[in-house]
């Protein structure tokens, strides 16, 4: 399914999930849905994060790939049979180096990635933590940067951590704190998925 998804990304991007939350007046796609400090409802967050973690687990464990660009704008929502919505991860980066000319939202990059330019599975998991914070709080960091010009990394991490304090869900708050922790303390996609599934049961 991931190979099929990648082959149609150009089409998907052009129409980016315009059906998402129309009844609430939100625009399409996970990068634009949370706005004005109004986040998604907790059940939606659980559903989206679980699907994203399923995708990362497949990439990390089965394909031995790193996504390298996990952020809300690369979480594409597609209609699935039965009227539900399926989240797919777009723009999978196949290398292990963050290109000097590649722009990206600074908040989604882990401290070690910004320092070394190396992309890792742990970097993907740091980004998932930032995505959860944005989904729940509605605070979306749209700041762009180029490698070598990322600004104040500690301040960015502190901002993401402050988002956690605004959450009303203990599981998500704990998950974000762990994912934004140091590289060696971060969960794998498989472990984080287990946490989400237990909490949703």
Q: Residue 91: give its domain's CATH number.
A: 1.10.510.10
Q: Report the candidate in 155, 74, 142 with the shortest Cα–Cα distance to residue 114.
A: 155
Q: Are 107 and 160 in contact (CB under 8 A)?
A: yes
Prediction pTM value: 0.74
Total number of domains in the chain: 1
Residue linked to tokens 């990304």: 9
Question: Along the 201 residues of the chain, how does pLDDT read in single tens digits?
Answer: 344 333 333 333 333 333 333 323 333 456 555 444 557 888 888 888 999 999 899 888 888 888 888 888 888 887 777 777 788 887 776 555 555 444 455 678 888 887 787 888 999 999 998 888 888 777 665 554 434 444 445 565 666 667 666 666 788 888 888 888 888 989 999 999 999 888 877
CA dist list (Å): 9 to 15, 31, 47, 166: 10, 16, 22, 34
């Amino acid at each position: 399914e991931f190979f099929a998804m990648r082959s149609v990304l150009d089409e998907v991007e052009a129409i980016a999930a315009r059906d998402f939350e129309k009844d609430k007046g939100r625009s399409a796609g996970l990068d634009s849905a949370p706005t004005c400090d109004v986040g998604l409802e907790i059940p939606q967050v659980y559903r989206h994060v679980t699907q994203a973690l399923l995708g990362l687990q497949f990439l990390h464990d089965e394909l031995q790939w790193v996504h390298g660009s996990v952020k809300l704008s690369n979480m594409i929502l597609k209609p699935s049979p039965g009227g539900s919505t399926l989240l797919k991860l777009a723009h999978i980066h196949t290398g292990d180096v963050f290109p000097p000319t590649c722009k990206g939202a600074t908040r989604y990059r882990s401290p070690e990635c910004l320092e070394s330019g190396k992309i890792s599975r742990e970097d993907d998991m740091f980004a998932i933590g930032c995505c959860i914070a944005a989904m729940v709080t509605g605070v979306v960091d749209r700041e762009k940067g180029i490698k070598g010009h990322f600004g104040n990394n500690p301040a960015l991490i502190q901002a993401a951590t402050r988002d956690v304090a605004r959450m009303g869900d203990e599981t998500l708050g704990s998950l974000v704190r762990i994912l934004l922790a140091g590289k060696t303390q971060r969960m794998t996609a498989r472990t984080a998925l287990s946490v989400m599934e237990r909490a949703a049961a």
